[in-house]
Chains A and B, each alone.
Chain A
Amino acid sequence: DIQVTQSPSSLSASVGDRVTITCRASQSIRNYLAWYQQKPGKAPKLLIYAASSLQSGVPSRFSGSGSGTDFSLTISSLQPEDYATYYCQQTYSKPCSFGQGTKVEIK
């Protein structure tokens, strides 16, 4: 099974900051990676699929990059509504494993 390791587990940032979260797969998954945002008490929301494609309705300040084993999610200018937990997920094969999550907190 493919493992995905996400870092950092948490970070503190201010409104307007550029934030980057990374995800590493245990083997090459080409571009088969998705990113989700989850707020407390809510279901996850798909942000990025196929490593860099923005899901419909997601603000353009979110972007994804990478291929093979190393990937990143960047928020270009953090907004108050972006404080949440973010998960990566390898979509290359089932079981389609998730990273451990990164909690983005207010600095």
Chain B
Amino acid sequence: EVQLLESGGGLVQPGGSLRLSCEASGFLFSSFDMSWVRQAPGKGLEWVSGVSATGRSTYYADSVKGRFTTSRDNSKKTFTVQMDSLRADDTAFYYCAKEGRAAPNSFDYWGQGILVTVSS
């Protein structure tokens, strides 16, 4: 059974940093690209960042470019995002998502989501 478990969320002050992790199990982690998708409370979905299966390529939304850094450790089956210079509009549920085998950039499995609140 595929499982994705996010950790590391919480309350942080504007300008602060937070590191989210996603622990994967139940599939060949090193074969799939991974992404972070966020959702502000009561709002729609926003793709945030992604990393290729090997970890050599990373991708970012303009809204987080230069502030977020995504990486993965295939030996530990973990996927992380380091979030720096956080702003109030980064407040959201953050989901770890696995790319589908049949279609790139579509997400067939998602974590349960973890809340990041940026507030003073």
**A binding-site residues for B, Cβ under 8 Å:** 1, 32, 34, 36, 38, 43-46, 49-50, 53, 55, 87, 89, 91-101
Contact = CB atoms under 8 A, between A and B. Distances in A.
Contact of A91 (B62, B95, B103, B111): B103
Nearest to B111: A43
A78 B30 CA distance: 39
Contact of A34 (B46, B50, B62, B106): B106
B108 A55 contact: yes
B104 interface: yes
A44 to B, nearest CB: 6
Contacts of A49: 100, 102-103, 106, 108
Contact of B103 (A43, A50, A93, A98): A50
A100 B59 CA distance: 22
Size band of the interface chain B makes with A = 20 to 34
B82 interface: no
B59 A44 contact: no
Nearest to A90: B105
Interface string B91-117: 000010000101111111011110000
Contacts of A100: 44
B88 interface: no
A34 B44 CA distance: 15
B78 to A, nearest CB: 19
A45 to B, nearest CB: 8
Contacts of B61: 95
A93 B35 CA distance: 13
A98 B107 contact: no
Nearest to A6: B44
A107 to B, nearest CB: 22
B9 to A, nearest CB: 14
